[in-house]
Amino acid sequence: MSETVKYETQDGIALISVNNPPVNSLSHPVRSGLAEAFSAADRDTEVEAIVLRCEGRTFIAGADITEFGKPMKAPSLPDVLSLMDSVGKPIVAALHGTALGGGLETALSCHYRIAAPAARVGLPEVRLGLLPGAGGTQRLPRVIGVEKALDMIVSGRQVKAAEALEIGLVDRIAVTDLTEEAIAFARELADSGAAPRRCSEQAVDSGALDAGFFDRYRQATAKRQRGFEAPQACIDAVESATRLPFTEGLEAERELFVKLISSPQSKAQRHLFFADREASNVAGLPKETPIREIGSVGVIGAGTMGAGIAINFLNAGIPVTLLEVQQEALDRGLATIRNYYQDRRKKGRLTAEQADACAALVTGTLDYADFAGVDLVIEAVFESMEIKHQVFKRLDEVCRPGAILATNTSTLNVDEIAAVTGRPEDVVGLHFFSPAQVMRLLEVVRGAKTCDEVLATSMKLAGRIGKVGVVAGVCDGFIGNRMLKGYGREAGTLLLEGASPVQIDKAVHQFGMAMGPIAMSDLAGLDVGYRIRQQRRERGDNIPASEGAVADRLVELGRLGQKSGKGYYRYDAGSRAPIPDPEVDDVIREAAAELGIERSQITDDEIVQRLIYPLVNEAALILEEGIAQRPGDIDVVWVNGYGFPVYRGGPMCYADEIGLPAVLDKIREFQSRYGDIWKPAPLLERLVAENKSFADL
Ligand code: 3HC
Ligand code: NAI
């Protein structure tokens, strides 16, 4: 028998152990090893019952995702699972770690299941743009019922052992030693003459479902998971389980699976799965780089960002000292944090004890001396270099040697901030996204002098507080905000050229962005950009007349966005629903006339190209300059920080899907119309000339 799947027998029980680090995925040697081992156990007349278990940190975590897209080497997983299903002796699966996807499908093809108390099970295929393709959609409804199965399959959520026991997905929870108790379970089954309990022989109980059940489920899911194809296919497959005999249901599932696996959506979601994990690898950072202990954190500024940043650490059980200039601002910040935990409690996300324990970890102060012992300080004060300098000089005086000094600046030069300290190697940018306690992205900005230890510790810390850390170099806007500039510019120009706010937002929403650029501006407040443009004008920067032409007029009319009840749209009191406003159409028309811009119909396709292609072009520059390490990092930034549709995999993945030659052609067309703001990035031109894509970098 192979190294990967070990076969032993003891006292009439066959023990089959999978050993395929790191996560025991079902790669070819595992599949063939399982087929061989189960055939052997079935044949062996001495064997009365069988236990399937795994070595290492987890039970099987699913199919081997790296094998997708390549021809499947026999035996296929469905074939292996059919074989297991048909074995004439009871099989017990011993689950620990995470039994996911094909792993749970394997466990469902065993006849009985026992789980370690900390084990979790789930069918996360939907998150990879897939459905469980090895019988999961047919077996699970037979074991736990249609509604519970749909919930697990369509959401992809993980279920803890206790819940799995409650819903009948596992039979037992081990008390002390999982393997020993699994063997004892198998022995009991053998002694009692229990027959194999095959899913394939169980009926699906759909008696309680009315005729419209699946259609309503489809509609509700389409709303919740807008634009995603896989959840709908999951529902189709489960519905098949209620209509078709087992083997025909398996065929229907297979057909849907094969269609999804070659779909652009699944490719995009699989790309993100790996890009997410790769983001934590920092090129040139030795693996053995020491990590500094972060046991306590200081946050400066308790405004929009500071309070949210603090909550991240409190949630992770790390005490925070929050510093403000004035008692009033401090009280406001502390109240924001208290309200957050009250809300979590009310919504049932945290128990009263958990909420109180988190909230108790924050201390407010007006005195820098209270930072003497902290391991990390994050500054989130006003966006002014002068104030940042004052703050960092104070930090340099009070913080202990080795403390990490971080700035949350979104536009200022991290190196300039670091330069006022005597320890620029300990300074780093930790750029959170608003709302900081919600958005999963953390740009870790590596200054020219930031040392390896500080960078490695920051990346590790990102994971600890549930963020995905992406390393960025120093430049105006780092990765995400730098790319946003062209997006905002084009939205403004499109308005002048004839597209309405509604048309632009609809086209972008249809493309899959969480929100269109115009509604987004209203949410963020038009005065922010206005002030920046005024400052740039005062500095003598050369700003094209069309830039902010509409927004500036709106601000001057007192239309600041949602906060003033009107911006590009108008808002009824207490509502965030945008209502088109003819007054704004007049403003746009006047601005266009003054600038001599002829207005015409613009197609939705052009709107999407004009907004998305600047992201791609700027990203190519960012890659060339080494501001981002790899295209996948840029995709991770845009999906987790800016609401780029997950099923499009991020702007780079999307450009590859369209085809870089087509993207470059369009960019050249826009360049001939609008000049060098559309100048193609040399990297993009080179990739097209070499017939390559971003994925080849
Ligand atoms: N296939 C191939 N590689 C996998 C993998 C898989 N299913 N799951 C994880 N890996 C790799 C990761 O890429 C990573 O590689 P790296 O070290 O080179 O970066 C390594 O295993 C460890 O993974 P994590 O860093 O994610 O480790 P964690 O301990 O944080 O998480 C986990 C472990 C919960 C198992 C997580 O890896 C996970 O969620 N994996 C994916 C599970 C999944 O989606 N399964 C369904 C697959 S599709 C399927 O089964 C189809 C079937 O229905 C036919
Ligand atoms: P804010 O205005 O809401 O909060 C700033 C807080 O800092 C105020 O409470 C103020 O009292 C306090 N403060 C000012 N000077 C101080 C000082 N010298 N010492 C201590 N506290 C001081 O601002 P916001 O939006 O939270 O931004 C803070 C920083 O985060 C800025 O650098 C900004 O660029 C950055 N940022 C903002 C994002 C956003 O969406 N608002 C997103 C990402 C970064």
Domains of the chain: 5-261 (3.90.226.10), 297-472 (3.40.50.720), 480-594 (1.10.1040.50), 604-696 (1.10.1040.50)
Examine the residue annotation and report whether 606 is marked as an active-site residue of this protein.
no
DSSP characters over 349-415:
SS-HHHHHHHHTTEEEES-GGGGTT-SEEEE---S-HHHHHHHHHHHHHHSPTT-EEEE--SSS-HH
Distance CA 449, CA 436 (A): 26
Examine the residue annotation and report whether 105 is marked as an active-site residue of this protein.
yes
Distance CA 37, CA 15 (A): 9
Distance CA 397, CA 602 (A): 58
The residues that bridge with 405 in the sheet, in sequence order, are 377, 427
Is 175 a residue whose pLDDT tops 70?
yes
Nearest atom in ligand 2 to the alpha carbon of residue 379 is 29
Is 57 a residue whose pLDDT tops 90?
yes
pLDDT, tens only, 538-568: 988 888 888 899 999 999 999 999 999 999 9
23 lines ligand 1 (CB under 6 A): yes
Could you give the maximum distance between any two Cα atoms of the chain, in Å? Answer: 92
| pLDDT value for 70 | 85
Nearest to 102, CA basis, from 77, 127, 138, 74 = 77
| pLDDT value for 569 | 97
pLDDT, tens only, 374-402: 999 999 999 999 999 999 999 999 999 99
126 lines ligand 1 (CB under 6 A): no
Q: Which of 18, 23, 79, 137 to mutate to test the pocket of ligand 1 (most atoms within 8 A of CB)?
A: 23
Looking from the CA of 297 toward its CB, the CA atoms found within 13 Å total 26
What spacing in Å lies between the alpha carbon of 125 and ligand 1's midpoint? Answer: 11
What spacing in Å lies between the alpha carbon of 506 and ligand 1's midpoint? Answer: 36
What number of other Cβ atoms are within 10 A of residue 308's Cβ? 25
Is 1 a residue whose pLDDT tops 80?
no
Q: Which uninterrupted H or E stretch holds 39?
A: helix 28-43
Identify the three-state secondary structure at position 173: strand
What spacing in Å lies between the alpha carbon of 23 and ligand 1's midpoint? Answer: 6
Nearest to 217, CA basis, from 209, 228, 205, 227 = 209
305 lines ligand 2 (CB under 6 A): yes
Distance CA 658, CA 221 (A): 27
pLDDT, tens only, 27-41: 999 999 999 999 999
477 lines ligand 2 (CB under 6 A): no
Amino acid letter, 602:
I
68 Cβ neighbours under 8 A, 6+ residues apart? 261, 270
25 lines ligand 1 (CB under 6 A): yes
The pTM of this model reads: 0.94
Identify the three-state secondary structure at position 297: strand
390 Cβ neighbours under 8 A, 6+ residues apart? none
Ligand found nearest the CA of 300: 2
Question: Which band of pLDDT confidence, cut at 50, 70 and 90, is reported for residue 143?
Answer: very high
Q: Which of 30, 34, 65 to mutate to test the pocket of ligand 1 (most atoms within 8 A of CB)?
A: 65
Nearest to 25, CA basis, from 65, 75, 57 = 65
| Strand arrangement of the beta sheet that strand 120-122 belongs to | 98-100, 120-122, 158-160
Question: Which band of pLDDT confidence, cut at 50, 70 and 90, is reported for residue 247?
Answer: very high
86, 118 Cβ separation under 8 angstroms: no
Distance CA 245, CA 247 (A): 6
Share of the chain above pLDDT 70, in %: 100
Q: In terms of DSSP H, where are the helices of 432-500? A: 452-464, 480-497
Ligand found nearest the CA of 389: 2
Is 528 a residue whose pLDDT tops 90?
no
Q: Which two tokens stand for residue 625?
A: 């300059």
What spacing in Å lies between the alpha carbon of 480 and ligand 2's midpoint? Answer: 19
Question: What Cα–Cα distance (Å) separates residue 693 from each residue in 470, 657, 686?
Answer: 21, 9, 10
Provide Rg for the chain, Cα atoms: 29
| pLDDT value for 72 | 85
Selected catalytic residue, list 48, 105, 239, 253: 105
| pLDDT value for 543 | 83
CA 140, distance to chain mean position in Å, is 26
What spacing in Å lies between the alpha carbon of 71 and ligand 1's midpoint? Answer: 20
ipTM greater than 0.85: yes
391 lines ligand 2 (CB under 6 A): yes
525 lines ligand 2 (CB under 6 A): no
| Rounded average pLDDT over 2-13 | 93
Q: CA-based angle 592:595:597, to the nearest 5?
A: 55
Q: Which of 299, 300, 305, 327 to mutate to test the pocket of ligand 2 (most atoms within 8 A of CB)?
A: 305
- Of 66-80, 146-160, 428-442, 502-516, which gets the smallest average pLDDT? 66-80
Distance CA 49, CA 415 (A): 66
| pLDDT value for 399 | 98
415 Cβ neighbours under 8 A, 6+ residues apart? 424, 447, 448, 449, 474
Amino acid letter, 36:
E
Residues composing the chain:
697
Query: What are the percentages of helix, strand and coil residues in the chain, rounded to 5?
Result: 55, 10, 35
pLDDT, tens only, 186-207: 999 999 999 999 999 999 988 7
Amino acid letter, 502:
V
What spacing in Å lies between the alpha carbon of 44 and ligand 1's midpoint? Answer: 34
What number of other Cβ atoms are within 10 A of residue 62's Cβ? 26
| pLDDT value for 529 | 86
Residue-averaged pLDDT of the chain: 96
Helix orientation angle between 682-689 and 660-674, rounded to the nearest 10 degrees: 140
**Residue located via tokens 């699989």:** 270
CA 210, distance to chain mean position in Å, is 35
**Burial of residue 236, with CB atoms counted within 10 A of its CB: 0-12 exposed, 13-18 middle, 19 or more buried:** middle
**Burial of residue 528, with CB atoms counted within 10 A of its CB: 0-12 exposed, 13-18 middle, 19 or more buried:** middle
Phi, psi of 579 (to 5 degrees): -120, 125
| pLDDT value for 2 | 74
Q: In terms of DSSP H, where are the helices of 465-596? A: 480-497, 501-511, 517-524, 526-538, 549-556, 582-594
- Of 250-259, 519-528, 651-660, which gets the smallest average pLDDT? 519-528
Nearest atom in ligand 2 to the alpha carbon of residue 333 is 9
What spacing in Å lies between the alpha carbon of 311 and ligand 2's midpoint? Answer: 15
| Rounded average pLDDT over 276-288 | 94
Q: Which of 336, 382, 387 to mutate to test the pocket of ligand 2 (most atoms within 8 A of CB)?
A: 382
Is 617 a residue whose pLDDT tops 70?
yes
Evaluate the CA torsion angle 313, 317, 321, 326 in order and state its sign. Answer: positive
